[in-house]
């Protein structure tokens, strides 16, 4: 349960927000957590005389974000020029370590890039044939089944007609589940499970 904040602080938070103060500025001034500040500034309108200041801050924050993202991208490209087969194998096993099943071979996630990398690793590094890769999805009832299937078909390379199962959950999508979850299995996955778990154990030993 959130800690109660004195009414005087709540009023100050709203007053500062109406004068164009940013979330970090209010946090530092009022000494209240970011979550609480965010909750109390919801719906607070910036007064007309402070609109220009507020817009300058917003634009400055956006420009700073773009600059930092660009710097991070350049640094990443400099650090990782390419990946050899062994590095890809280690990354693949690490993905499975975090998101894969431990009693049977299955890999589930809602991130299309992660699913794409994992499927590519199965085919390119572990030499699993496309027809041996089995995909299924789990979606909420308010999502369009056809759109979700086409999305994951493009990501996994699995024809829409070849999806093993479509599990429809009651309720509405939340968070990042725009296309639901995708689960990847392979034929005769027992040996592959043992291999990936052994790789992860070896990595843990070396660390």
Cα–Cα distances in angstroms (integers) from residue 94 to residues 76, 192, 199, in the given order: 19, 14, 9
Say whether pLDDT at 144 is over 70.
Answer: yes
Say whether pLDDT at 60 is over 80.
Answer: no
How many residues are recorded in the chain? 207
- Alpha-helical regions (H) of 80-189: 85-99, 112-124, 145-156
Say whether pLDDT at 171 is over 80.
Answer: no
In the chain, % of residues over pLDDT 90:
65
Which pLDDT tens digit goes with each residue over 83-126? 999 999 999 999 999 999 999 999 999 999 999 999 999 999 99
pTM to 2 decimal places: 0.71
Cα–Cα dist 207/197, whole Å: 15
pLDDT class for 196, splitting at 50, 70, 90? very high
Q: What is the per-residue DSSP string for 166-199?
A: EEEESS---TT-SS-EEEEEETTTHHHHHHHHHH
The 10 Å CB-count burial string (b at 16+, else e) for 88-114 is bbbebbebbbebbeeeebbbbbbebeb
């Amino acid at each position: 349960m959130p800690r109660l904040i004195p009414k005087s602080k709540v009023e100050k938070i709203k007053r500062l927000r109406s004068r164009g103060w940013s979330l970090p500025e209010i946090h530092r001034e009022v000494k209240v957590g970011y979550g609480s500040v965010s909750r109390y500034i919801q719906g607070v309108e910036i007064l007309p005389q402070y609109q220009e200041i507020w817009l300058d801050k917003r634009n400055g924050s956006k420009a700073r974000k773009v600059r930092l993202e660009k710097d991070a991208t350049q640094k990443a490209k400099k650090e990782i020029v390419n990946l050899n087969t062994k590095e890809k194998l280690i990354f693949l096993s690490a993905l499975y370590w975090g998101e894969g099943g431990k009693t049977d071979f299955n890999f589930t996630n809602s991130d299309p890039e992660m699913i794409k990398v994992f499927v590519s690793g199965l085919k390119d590094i572990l030499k699993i044939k496309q027809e041996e890769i089995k995909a299924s999805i789990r979606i909420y009832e308010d999502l369009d089944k056809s759109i979700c299937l086409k999305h994951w078909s493009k990501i996994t390379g699995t024809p829409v007609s070849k999806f093993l199962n479509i599990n429809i959950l009651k309720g509405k999508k939340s968070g990042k589940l725009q296309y639901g979850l995708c689960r990847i299995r392979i034929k005769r996955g027992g040996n592959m499970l043992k291999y990936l778990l052994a790789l992860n154990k070896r990595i843990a030993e070396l660390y």
